[in-house]
Structure 1
Amino acid sequence: MLKPLFTTLLISALSLLSTSAMADEQKTYRWRLAETWPKDFPVFGDTVKSMAQRVKEMSDGRLIITIDSKNKHKAPLGIFDMVRAGQYQMGHSASYYWKGKDLNTMFFTTRPFGMTATEQYAWFYYGGGMELMQQVYQPYGLLSFPGGNTGNQMGGWFRKEIKSIDDLKGLKMRIPGFAGEVISKLGASPVNIPAGELYTALERNTIDALEWVGPSLDLRMGFQKVAPFYYTGWHEPATELQFLINEKAFNSLPEDLQQILMVAMRASAYDMYAQSMHENALNLEKIATQYPDIQIRTFPASIMLELQRANDQLIEQFKQQDPLTRKIIESQERYQGIARPWTQISDQVYLEIGQ
Structure 2
Amino acid sequence: MLKTTTKLLVTTALIAGITTAASAADKVKWKLATTWGSTLTPFIDAPTNMASLVETMSDGKFTIRVDAANKHKAALGILDMVKGGQYEMGHSASYYWKGKDIDTLPFTTMPFGMTTPEQYAWFYYGGGMELMKKAYAKHGVLSFPGGNTGNQMGGWFRKEINTVADLQGLKMRVPGFAGEVMAKLGLSVTNIAPGELYTSLERGTIDALEWVGPGMDISMGFHKIAPYYYTGWHEPATELQFLVNEKSFEKLPKDYQQILLTAMRVSAYDMYIQNYDMSAKAWSTMLTEFPDIKVKTFPKDVMDAMKKANADLLEEVKKESPIVKEVLESQEAYQKQARKWTEMSDFLYLKDNL
Unaligned runs of 5+ in 2: 1-20
AA aligned to 1:177 is G
AA aligned to 2:164 is I
Q: Which residue of 1 aligns with 2:5?
A: none
Deviation by residue 1:219-251 (Cα, 9 ceiling, x = unmatched)? 110101111100000000000000000001000
AA aligned to 1:251 is E
Q: Which residue of 2 aligns with 1:349?
A: 348
| 1:1-355 alignment, distance < 5 Å | 25-355=24-354
How far the C-alpha of 1:214 sits from its partner, in A, is: 0.4
1:23–1:318 Cα change, 3 Å: closer
AA aligned to 2:335 is Q
CA distance in 2, matches of 1:310, 1:25: 57
Whose Rg is larger?
A: 1
How far the C-alpha of 1:25 sits from its partner, in A, is: 2.6
Deviation by residue 1:176-196 (Cα, 9 ceiling, x = unmatched)? 010000011100111000000
How far the C-alpha of 1:24 sits from its partner, in A, is: 8.8
AA aligned to 1:322 is S
Structure 1: 4+ residue segments shifted above 6 A: none
CA distance in 2, matches of 1:39, 1:167: 37
AA aligned to 1:270 is Y
User: Higher mean Cα deviation, 317-326 or 339-348?
Assistant: 317-326
Give the 3-state SS of the residue equivalent to 2:32 in structure 1.
strand
Give the 3-state SS of the residue equivalent to 2:24 in structure 1.
helix
Conserved in 2, the CA contact under 8 Å of 1:24 and 1:254? Answer: no
Conserved in 2, the CA contact under 8 Å of 1:180 and 1:190? Answer: yes
How far the C-alpha of 1:23 sits from its partner, in A, is: 10
Conserved in 1, the CA contact under 8 Å of 2:22 and 2:59? Answer: no
CA distance in 2, matches of 1:142, 1:99: 16
Conserved in 1, the CA contact under 8 Å of 2:23 and 2:58? Answer: no
Deviation by residue 1:19-75 (Cα, 9 ceiling, x = unmatched)? xxx999341100000000011321001111111101100111121000111111000
Q: Which residue of 2 aligns with 1:8?
A: none
Alignment: residue pair count: 334
How far the C-alpha of 1:260 sits from its partner, in A, is: 0.6
Conserved in 1, the CA contact under 8 Å of 2:140 and 2:247? Answer: yes
AA aligned to 1:347 is D
Give the 3-state SS of the residue equivalent to 1:96 in structure 2.
helix
Unaligned runs of 5+ in 1: 1-21
Identity of aligned residues (%): 60
CA distance in 1, matches of 2:157, 2:195: 18
AA aligned to 1:33 is L
How far the C-alpha of 1:104 sits from its partner, in A, is: 1.3
CA distance in 1, matches of 2:149, 2:93: 11
Deviation by residue 1:278-321 (Cα, 9 ceiling, x = unmatched)? 00011112212200110000000000000000000011111112
CA distance in 2, matches of 1:106, 1:272: 21
* TM-score under structure 2 length normalisation: 0.93
* TM-score under structure 1 length normalisation: 0.93
CA distance in 2, matches of 1:111, 1:87: 30
Note the aligned Cα RMSD (angstroms).
1.1
Give the 3-state SS of the residue equivalent to 1:233 in structure 2.
coil
CA distance in 2, matches of 1:227, 1:322: 38
